[in-house]
A and B are shown apart, each in its own frame.
Chain A
Amino acid sequence: MSDLEYEQNLWPRIKSAFRVLVAFTFSHVGVCGLVVGYIICGAFLFQMMESHEVEPMLKEVRQLREETAEKLLSIVLKSNTLEEEEFFRLANVAIQNYTYEIVNAISDGYDGEPKPKPLNWTKKADSIDRKEMPWSFTGGFLYSLTVITTIGYGNYAPKTAQGKAMTILYGIIGMPLFLLYLSNIGDILARGFKWTFSRCCQCNWTFIKRRRIDENGEVIEEPAQEEEEQITVPISLCLTLMVGYIWGGGLLFAEWEKWSVLDASYFCFISLSTIGFGDLVPGEAVAAESLEDAIQYSFVFCSLYLLLGMALIAMCFNLMQEEVIAKVRVCGRRLGCAR
């Protein structure tokens, strides 16, 4: 009999275990973990695919420079009669061409020489530290994040064929995942915020209730819980929260990256609205000081800011939607009463 009872209990237990598992994967922690894990996987993948592509570019630019120098030498030798005007004209043309080449190289992904080492020209230094490659782990992380959030700064972009194909696939799978994350986290944040808000307003609460009874002229005993459901956070508060988050982020980034506050706020807005021009990207100012760790930190900080901020904005939209729906409903009820 105990076996039978055990058997009978087994199915519900398996069922509930299964349900718990599914619920967990789609729960807040599970989705967070999934998104972060997905981004980390993407970071490794892109790092693997793109890292080795930088070195030929550096060599190419170096070669270009040497060619230009040779050309200048030939100009010098040709204009041996030392006509200053002529020399300037020819040299200017050569340097102009060199400028075009550099601009084209930059549009192909060249990103400046890492750490100038002057007086090393003759050696043709080939050893470039792996650390100094643009596709560091954190760089890959930020790139993956900007793909699945559809920000797309474009300061790093894949140059290889497999990198591009991978980006397409990665985005197609990643974007629904991120939407899931947004709706999930937005939901829980909205609920938490609403709860806090209702607690904060508890002191005002009884007053509102009494007033409503007076207006109607008859006593309506509404259960407290139902009332709590009806609490809506005012739109102005949501807007203030969003503006505050962007402005706060602006102050932080201004401090961190040495931008002006306007630039930093502009960066925050452009990022959080998922426009992502990529003209201002964290890590640039710090890179000039060539502090490798600082770049990493600024990337991590930026990623965190973005992940949190987008959830916060999803929350605000969630709350605002609720508020608008509630307002419309109230309006409808009033109209109904009037008729």
Chain B
Amino acid sequence: MSSRKGRPVRPSMRNRPHRSRSWEDPERMMEIETGRHTKLKNCCRSVATFMCTQVGVGGIIVGYAIVGAFGFMALETQDDSVADTVLKSVELARVRTADQLYSDYTEYQFNETEWIMKANVSLYAFQKDVVDAVKKGYDGRTSKEQWNFPAALMFTLSIFTMIGYGNLVPRTEWGKVITIFYAVFGIPLYILYFMNMGKALASIFKWMYIKLNSCNVVPQDEGGGTGQGSSSYRSRSGDEEDDDETIIVPSSASIYVLFSYICVGTIMFAEWEGWEYLDSVYFCVTSLCKIGLGDFVPDHYILLGTNIDESEEGNQTKLVINFIYLLLGLGLVAMCYNLLKEEVLAKMKQLKTDVKDVFHYVRHECTCADCK
């Protein structure tokens, strides 16, 4: 639906550069003056539709994520949740181990080596319990501490973007069932956002690219220079109809944009989280590629024994910023995908004709040589 609504956006985008260019033509000034009112109206309308579609879809996505976050928070923080029982079991194991140590102590009171061996055995048993508990999701927090709002928001984001970090997962049965349904509805919605965002960003980027290009070219023209740029500009403005169709943003430009976005993210996360730069790049790339290994997650909770509560506030804003970073970044990836696809298709067409020409030429040469 909204992808179809998005279509009227493009003509207006296309018109803008011509309009700015035609300012230089005195003959056209009159025409523009008369048509300005309707054009302004059209422009307003297209801007309105633009806001409706792109921002609308973005809003739906964000709303869906927030609703999901509250839903999962409610589901996973019930009284008998798995995280809490695991927490209790670890507590129990610790008390049991201490008991064991004490009874060992009373038994082997003054035989140190013997006691250390016994302690090691009981510690090993305890360690195994802890490893099992960690595999079941133990990280020293109750379910309410685990499922705070930003974490739940990241969880819902990781579902419908198909990243799937897996640092926070549903443990209850209902949580799992709801996750499946949440994904079934969320993923198409996200794909809609992805397509929409990709198209819009691509057209904006293209427009900016063209504008920048023409800005560079125009002064040369006025200066009377007959360089390469001005001639190409003239030839381009000659057939204005399919002007934009033929201009293809080079892949290097879109890749630079993506690269700089990853760089910004890298520096941001490296500064905040105290990661190394390689780790930070690794996180950004695996997230934006939707792999989401989940070994690095911003504010991945690591037990330090103390100062659990201190950094809670800062972490939550970080998680929200991370949410925005990812959502925007995925849109940017979609943009690059769109632009690259366009370019690759054009290149393929070119290659096809080239190869055909080469074969034709070679065959021609060969037959000529044979004739002689």
Contact = CB atoms under 8 A, between A and B. Distances in A.
B249 interface: no
B126 interface: yes
B344 to A, nearest CB: 10
B122 to A, nearest CB: 9
Contact of B116 (A8, A73, A118, A273): A73
Contacts of A100: 140, 303-305
A73 B115 CA distance: 8
A121 B117 contact: yes
Interface in B132-180: 134-135, 137-140, 158-159, 162-166, 169, 173, 176-177, 179-180
Contacts of A76: 105, 115
Contact of A154 (B134, B159, B165): B165
Given A100-B140, A164-B282, A276-B166, A121 B367 contact: no
Contacts of A154: 165-166, 292-295
Contact of B94 (A92, A112, A113, A168): A92
B213 interface: no
Interface in A63-81: 65-66, 68-70, 72-73, 76
Q: Is the interface of A mostly helix, strand, loop or mixed?
A: helix
A132 to B, nearest CB: 15
Contacts of A274: 162, 164, 290
A11 B119 CA distance: 82
B292 A152 contact: yes
A65 B120 contact: yes
B336 to A, nearest CB: 12
Contacts of B47: none
A4 B138 CA distance: 80
A43 B127 CA distance: 31
Contacts of A273: 162, 183, 187
A72 B122 CA distance: 12
A161 B278 CA distance: 7
B176 A262 contact: yes
Contacts of A278: 164, 166, 293-294
Q: Is the interface of B mostly helix, strand, loop or mixed?
A: helix
Interface stretch (B24-32, B50-58, B95-103, B316-324): B95-103
Q: Interface size for chain A: under 10, 10 to 19, 20 to 34, or 35 or more residues?
A: 35 or more
Interface stretch (B73-81, B201-209, B222-230, B358-366): B358-366
B120 A69 contact: yes
A165 interface: yes
A147 B367 CA distance: 51
A175 interface: yes
Contacts of B117: 121-122
A334 interface: no
Interface in A40-70: 61, 65-66, 68-70
A66 B120 contact: yes
A202 interface: no
Given A72-B119, A275-B162, A278-B166, A112 B131 contact: yes
A229 B165 CA distance: 42
A103 B101 CA distance: 22
A147 B138 contact: no
B267 to A, nearest CB: 17
Contact of A65 (B115, B127, B140): B127
A168 B362 CA distance: 42
Interface stretch (A83-91, A191-199, A208-216): A83-91
B127 A102 contact: yes
Given A106-B131, A168-B281, A279-B137, A72 B101 contact: yes
A26 interface: no
A226 B14 CA distance: 39
B279 interface: yes
Which among A11, A69, A88, A150 has the greatest number of chain B C-beta atoms within 10 A? A69
B293 A262 contact: no
B359 A11 contact: yes
A103 B369 CA distance: 78
B128 interface: yes
B291 A150 contact: yes
Given A65-B124, A68-B123, A269 B294 contact: no
B286 interface: yes
A118 B122 CA distance: 11
A117 B357 CA distance: 72
Nearest to A15: B359
A233 B166 CA distance: 36
9 contacts: A7-B367, A7-B370, A68-B123, A69-B116, A95-B98, A111-B131, A121-B124, A152-B291, A168-B285
Interface of B: 90, 94-95, 97-98, 101-102, 105, 112, 115-117, 119-121, 123-124, 126-128, 130-131, 134-135, 137-140, 158-159, 162-166, 169, 173, 176-177, 179-180, 183, 187, 278-279, 281-282, 285-286, 289-295, 300, 302-305, 359, 362-363, 366-367, 370
Q: For the complex of A and B, list the 3 residue pairs with the smallest distance between their C-beta atoms, beginning with the closest.
A: A275-B164, A277-B166, A152-B291
Interface of A: 4, 7-8, 11, 15, 61, 65-66, 68-70, 72-73, 76, 84, 87-88, 91-92, 95-100, 102-104, 106-107, 109, 111-113, 116, 118, 121-122, 146-147, 150-154, 157, 161, 164-165, 167-168, 171-172, 175, 262-263, 265-266, 269-270, 273-279, 284
